[in-house]
Structure 1
Amino acid sequence: MNPLLDVRDLVVRHGPRTTVDHISFDVAPGETLGLVGPSGCGKSSTAMAVLQLRRPAGGEVWFDGHELTSLNEKQLRPLRPAMQPVFQDPYGSLGPRHRIRDAIAEPLRVQGSWDRTTGPARVAELLEQVGLDLSLGDRRPHELSGGQCQRAGIARALACEPKLLVLDEPVSALDPSLRAGVLNLLAELQERLDLGYLFICHDLALVRHFCDRVAEMREGRIVRTTPAAPPSPPRSPAATPR
């Protein structure tokens, strides 16, 4: 199976400083790759470069058969709906003045695919898909909990039916009691929609629990990529239950 996302020798610079130094990784359809490392190691710079929100200084980003770094903004526009971000701050990413239903509808309007007849039903479907009551659509972000806001952010990311979500610390701002619910939601959505996830996090234990593979990043470089959890050793015949 060809990768959905294939990053090759990526370089990102902030002024004279190299924050991402020739890294390579890939994500298959329906797979979760965890990108883990300490603050300042280049994880978020990688996410921005994958999404082409920051243009890399070198390397290639292949997504769904297209090499993105060679495309101008007009050429990128039809590809953007298929790769969507979910950011760390659920309140800031939705916009404080927007009602939740308007924030979810915004990507459809930006892409020119909003329809007055079917649009409200699509927003209602998305709210239901992420486990939010339809009445919450009339509220603004400050009237929701952090977990509810992050669910709304996920609904917003799903509006244009993406193939890849770039999840940049999606649960680190949530209380521990809310994290499991959001992670379970992401797992359910992935199984149902066959989404690929680039899951960026600083918590190695969480990444090993949630992801299929783990790429560990230090000082702008990926130092190792491993399966998230080693397979269980086979049972000896004597231990096999009858």
Structure 2
Amino acid sequence: MNALLDVRDLVVRRGARTVLDGVSFTVAAGETVGLVGPSGCGKSTTAAAVLGLLRPDAGTVRFAGIELTKLRERELRPLRRRFQPVFQDPYGSLSPRRRIREQLAEPLRLHGPWSATEGPARIVELLELVGLDPALGERLPHELSGGQCQRVGIARALAGGPDLLVLDEPTSALDPTVRAGVLNLLMDLQDDLGIGMLFISHDTATVRHLCHRVLGLRGGRLTAEGRWDGA
């Protein structure tokens, strides 16, 4: 498979400390790659580098053949819709004062074009895509459960039609039953949309359920890689 995301020899330093030390991996279209390791091992730093939120000290991040680390922000901005994050805290990633439909409209307006008829119809489509009743679009985040809010976060990430999702501990704040539902949703979305996923977690069992390949990260270095069938 051709690599959608190709990370090579990534190095990130913070002062005298090396947070990532020569990290290399790929994610193909339609593939889910898990990045697993203990707290502080560099998982979230890897996500930030992939998303272009920090510039590494060395190494390359190529997305669809484009070298991201050398782009200026104005050059990177048009590409951002194609690789989108989903965060750990389902409530914290949403504005508490804005209705769900408004928060889904924001990325649609950003990535455009937006129209008075097609925009609202797309919001309904996004909510249905993640298994939510479109009527929930009129609610505020505190009126939804944690699982529902995380589904809204996934819908926001999907609004621009991305090729890659970068999911940083997206189910760790959910109870086991809700967590299973969100994981099943992600697998269904991948089957339907063909998107690639980088799934970051400290939970090996969760990663085993979802991912095609798993990378072990410890002390800023990749320590293992595994593959299993039926992930």
Q: TM-score, normalised by structure 2?
A: 0.96
Partner in structure 2 of residue 215 of structure 1: 215
Question: How far apart, CA to CA, are the structure 2 residues paired with 1:176 and 1:57?
Answer: 38
Partner in structure 1 of residue 153 of structure 2: 153
**RMSD of aligned Cα (Å):** 1.2
Question: How far apart, CA to CA, are the structure 2 residues paired with 1:77 and 1:148?
Answer: 29
Letter in 2 for 1:62: R
Question: How far apart, CA to CA, are the structure 2 residues paired with 1:113 and 1:230?
Answer: 41
Letter in 1 for 2:174: L
The CA deviation at 1:177 is: 1.4
Question: How far apart, CA to CA, are the structure 2 residues paired with 1:201 and 1:118?
Answer: 36
Alpha carbons 2:212, 2:229 under 8 Å: kept: no
Partner in structure 2 of residue 133 of structure 1: 133
The 5 A counterparts of 1:91-110 are: 91-110=91-110
The CA deviation at 1:106 is: 1.2
Question: How far apart, CA to CA, are the structure 2 residues paired with 1:174 and 1:92?
Answer: 13
The CA deviation at 1:3 is: 0.2
2:161 partner SS? coil
Partner in structure 2 of residue 114 of structure 1: 114
Partner in structure 2 of residue 234 of structure 1: none
Question: How far apart, CA to CA, are the structure 1 residues paired with 2:223 and 2:144?
Answer: 39
2:206 partner SS? helix
The 5 A counterparts of 1:119-198 are: 119-198=119-198
Provide, for residues 46-90 of structure 1, a one-character-per-residue CA deviation record: whole Å limited to 9, x for no partner: 000100011111110000110100111111111110000000001
- Return 5+ residue gaps in structure 2 as ranges: none
Q: Which stretch shows the higher mean deviation, 94-103 or 32-41? A: 94-103
Question: Is 1:42 matched up with 2:42?
Answer: yes
Q: Which stretch shows the higher mean deviation, 115-124 or 22-31? A: 115-124
2:93 partner SS? helix
The CA deviation at 1:21 is: 1.1
Partner in structure 2 of residue 26 of structure 1: 26
1:185 partner SS? helix
1:77 partner SS? helix
Partner in structure 2 of residue 55 of structure 1: 55
Pick closer, same or farther for the CA change 1:192–1:230 going to 2, 3 Å.
closer
The CA deviation at 1:22 is: 1.1
Pick closer, same or farther for the CA change 1:230–1:191 going to 2, 3 Å.
closer
The CA deviation at 1:230 is: 6.3
Pick closer, same or farther for the CA change 1:65–1:137 going to 2, 3 Å.
same
Q: TM-score, normalised by structure 1?
A: 0.92
Identity of aligned residues (%): 67
Question: How far apart, CA to CA, are the structure 1 residues paired with 2:113 and 2:221?
Answer: 39
The CA deviation at 1:12 is: 1.6
Moved over 6 A (4+): none
From the CA coordinates, give the structure whose radius of gyration is larger: 1
